[in-house]
């Protein structure tokens, strides 16, 4: 099979011909149709992600594919089933997946859409619903609101009944967030985040994919009892959280890494994805895939994420 693999840190991916993997007990092998790329993949290239890969290794953590083979003990799945799954090496013609993390893809959903749902929509849904327990009428700030993950937070936040402030760079990106349902648009290059948020009455929930100065401004814009979700650090600066301000305002900072749920609570992820697919089937969610590339151009997809030029999801079409 063909696979785009990383052989050494800080190098470009190479297109390799290797043997297809064999599923272990509890696993299935998928014939990959499409693989979603995420900012985490760019961190894997640098060796800076929480989870370290043994090289050489393919990147890509989410796919849509057809069940091709089943490991011992797998129940509820059969060869030929079309599923979305969180995986370890998705940039390949075949990959392995934990059967517990395979969710049937809705009829009529494109491979690109199904592959792009799990990390972006799943992160936002689990963060806002399961962790922050956001309620209708609360005010939500989303930083990096036109990115692959941030845009889903805008959409899900609005679906959950929040008043959504979308923070992004420039009118073009903010227009994308507006179409996703944002109530207020905040240009991070020309406007003062704290001034705007306090002017609206302060924040109840912060969904921050940027870090750095944007986190600091959002933190200082929180109302009593607000919840803050540090989702990622696209700015390259990991913020420090002053515990004294947590105390004074009764704030809660909630860490969330989707990879930990794969090991410790896979049922939370599969349950979330089932709900998200149901919303898609009802016409309540519209995934925004901005770029679709062939397998041999996966490196160009990573460049779109590194340069923060993608608006929405970047997907590699394989099968």
Q: What residue numbers bound the domain in which 232 lies?
A: 133-253
Identify the domain boundary among 197, 221, 253: 253
The answer on 142 and 237 residing in a single domain is: yes
Query: Which CATH number does the domain housing residue 248 bear?
Result: 3.40.50.720
The answer on 244 and 142 residing in a single domain is: yes
How many structural domains are present in the chain? 2
Edge-to-edge strand ranges of the sheet holding 203-208:
184-187, 163-168, 139-143, 203-208, 222-230, 252-253
User: What are the start-end ranges of the E strands in the chain?
Assistant: 2-6, 14-17, 27-37, 57-58, 62-70, 82-87, 94-104, 139-143, 163-168, 184-187, 203-208, 222-230, 252-253, 289-294, 313-317
How much is the pLDDT for 35?
A: 98
The answer on 139 and 114 residing in a single domain is: no
pLDDT tens, per residue, the chain with 319 residues: 999 999 999 999 999 999 999 999 999 999 999 999 998 899 899 998 878 899 999 999 999 999 999 999 999 999 999 999 999 999 999 999 999 999 999 999 999 999 988 888 999 999 999 999 999 999 999 999 988 789 999 999 999 999 999 999 999 999 999 999 999 999 999 999 999 999 999 999 999 999 999 999 999 999 999 999 999 887 777 888 888 888 889 999 999 888 889 889 999 999 999 999 999 999 999 888 889 999 999 999 999 999 888 877 899 999 8
Residue 96 is assigned to a structural domain of this protein: yes
C-alpha to C-alpha distance for 155 and 35, rounded to whole angstroms = 22
The answer on 248 and 196 residing in a single domain is: yes
The answer on 55 and 114 residing in a single domain is: yes
How much is the pLDDT for 73?
A: 96
Identify the domain boundary among 229, 253, 277: 253
Identify the domain boundary among 253, 278, 304: 253
Q: Which residues of 19-49 are buried (b: 16+ CB within 10 A; e: fewer)?
A: ebbebeeebbbbbbbbbbbbbbbbbbbeeeb
How much is the pLDDT for 49?
A: 84
The answer on 215 and 115 residing in a single domain is: no
């Amino acid at each position: 099979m063909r696979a785009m693999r990383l052989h050494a840190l800080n190098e470009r991916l190479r297109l390799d011909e290797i043997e297809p993997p064999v599923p272990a007990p509890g696993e299935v092998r998928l014939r990959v149709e499409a693989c979603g790329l995420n900012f985490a993949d760019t961190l894997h290239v640098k060796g800076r992600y929480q989870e370290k890969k043994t090289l050489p290794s393919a990147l890509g953590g989410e796919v849509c594919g057809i069940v091709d083979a089943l490991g011992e003990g797998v129940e509820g799945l059969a060869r030929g089933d079309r599923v979305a799954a969180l995986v370890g090496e998705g940039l390949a013609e075949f990959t392995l997946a934990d059967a517990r993390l395979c969710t049937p893809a809705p009829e009529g959903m494109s491979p690109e859409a199904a592959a792009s749902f799990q990390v972006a929509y799943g992160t936002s849904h689990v963060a806002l619903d399961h962790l922050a327990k956001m309620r209708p009428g609360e005010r939500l700030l989303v930083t990096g609101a036109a990115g692959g993950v941030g845009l889903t937070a805008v959409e899900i936040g609005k679906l959950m009944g929040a008043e959504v402030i979308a923070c992004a760079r420039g009118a073009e990106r903010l227009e994308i967030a507006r179409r996703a349902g944002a109530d207020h648009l905040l240009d991070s290059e020309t406007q003062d985040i704290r001034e705007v948020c306090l002017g609206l009455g302060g924040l109840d929930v912060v969904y921050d994919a940027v870090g750095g100065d944007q986190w600091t401004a959002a933190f200082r814009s929180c109302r009593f009892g607000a919840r803050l979700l540090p989702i990622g650090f696209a700015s390259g600066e990991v913020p420090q959280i002053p515990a004294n301000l947590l105390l004074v305002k009764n704030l809660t900072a909630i860490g969330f890494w989707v990879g930990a749920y794969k090991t410790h609570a896979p049922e939370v992820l599969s349950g979330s994805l089932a709900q998200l697919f149901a919303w898609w089937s009802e016409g309540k969610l519209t995934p925004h895939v901005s770029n679709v590339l062939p397998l041999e151009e996966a490196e160009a997809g990573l460049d779109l994420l590194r340069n923060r030029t993608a608006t929405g999801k970047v997907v590699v079409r394989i099968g």
